[in-house]
């Protein structure tokens, strides 16, 4: 807990936008104990949302974005892409030596720079929904103004809610299509497994537990063994057995190719959003 406790004392984090992802980050950071409640604040346009965040998580959730900026060392913009420019205009005068972090889909570092009054360290980030339970996938890319120390601080904070990877910004549309949108694809797969389990005779709650843990375990096998998933699949599949019959059904439905197309289409949509 040494480094985490140090960060909780030394780093103040402000989140502008307390929607789904903003809330996931608030929940994850507090859950991990990396940022204390006194060192974390947020803002949101909705009075109902502000009340909910304050009551649920015990942090200040304000109506004034400027106040969030002046009380933070790291400012995270977690609003919809179409609102980013307005937020930047609102907080521009108050951004001095803070590190600016943006999780807005399709918003480039160049766009952020062009809409700020002065050069500040910027980290563009793509987190995903499982950050809420500490199992997120977070991809970062820094602007040239970001020092090694600043990037390390952002990495350490976000590693508390998942696995962190630093990639070139040119790959962010692909990241959006895969890990950004990917949880929705997996949830759909879990729904299908549950439905199959129920049809085979299981109760829905037992099928849910079996399906969800199977997905978690399979993912951990890939990450911790470093073995290609095709090889792991072969390890589970025996000639004439039960698994191969299920795989034949998935092949008839072209499931693997459908997942690939889903990633490609989501990445394409990310590029389209960036243009608008």
pLDDT tens readout for residues 102-116: 998 888 999 999 999
* pLDDT of amino acid 8: 44
Average the pLDDT over 181-193 and give the result. Answer: 97
Confidence (pTM): 0.86
Give the closest residue to 63 by CA, choosing from 49, 77, 75: 49
70 CB contacts (<8 Å, ≥6 apart)? Answer: 94
pLDDT in tens, 231-256: 999 999 999 999 999 999 999 999 99
28 touches 35 (CB < 8 A): no
- Domains along the chain? 2-169 (3.40.50.720), 182-275 (1.10.3730.10)
161 touches 138 (CB < 8 A): yes
pLDDT at 126 over 50: yes
Give the closest residue to 98 by CA, choosing from 60, 71, 61: 71
What is the rounded average pLDDT for all residues in the chain?
Answer: 92
Sheet containing 136-142: order of strands: 60-62, 40-43, 13-16, 74-77, 99-102, 122-126, 136-142, 162-166
pLDDT in tens, 250-267: 999 999 999 999 999 999
* pLDDT of amino acid 1: 38
* pLDDT of amino acid 74: 95
């Amino acid at each position: 807990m040494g480094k985490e406790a140090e960060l909780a004392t030394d780093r103040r984090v402000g989140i502008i936008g307390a929607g789904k992802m903003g809330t996931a980050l608030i929940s994850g950071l507090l859950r991990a104990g990396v940022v204390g409640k006194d060192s974390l604040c947020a803002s949101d346009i909705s009075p109902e949302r502000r009340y909910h965040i304050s009551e649920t998580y015990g942090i200040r959730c304000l109506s004034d974005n400027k106040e969030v900026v002046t009380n933070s060392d790291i400012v995270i913009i977690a609003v919809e892409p179409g609102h980013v420019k307005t937020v930047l205009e609102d907080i521009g005068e108050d951004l001095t030596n803070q590190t600016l972090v943006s999780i807005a889909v399709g918003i480039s570092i160049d766009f952020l720079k062009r809409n700020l009054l002065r050069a500040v360290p910027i980290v563009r980030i793509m987190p995903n929904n499982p950050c809420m339970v500490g199992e997120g996938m977070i991809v970062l890319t820094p602007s040239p103004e970001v020092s090694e120390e600043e990037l390390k601080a952002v990495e350490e904070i976000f590693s508390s809610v998942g696995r962190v990877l630093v990639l070139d910004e040119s790959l962010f549309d692909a990241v959006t299509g895969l890990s950004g949108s990917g949880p929705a694809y997996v949830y759909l797969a879990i729904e299908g497994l549950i439905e199959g389990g129920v049809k085979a005779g299981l109760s829905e709650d037992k099928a849910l537990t079996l399906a969800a843990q199977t997905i978690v375990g399979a993912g951990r096998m890939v990450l911790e063994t470093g073995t290609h998933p095709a090889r792991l699949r072969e390890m589970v599949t025996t000639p004439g057995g039960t698994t191969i019959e299920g795989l034949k059904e998935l092949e008839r439905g072209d499931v693997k190719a459908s997942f690939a197309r889903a990633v490609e289409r989501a990445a394409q949509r990310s590029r389209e959003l960036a243009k608008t």
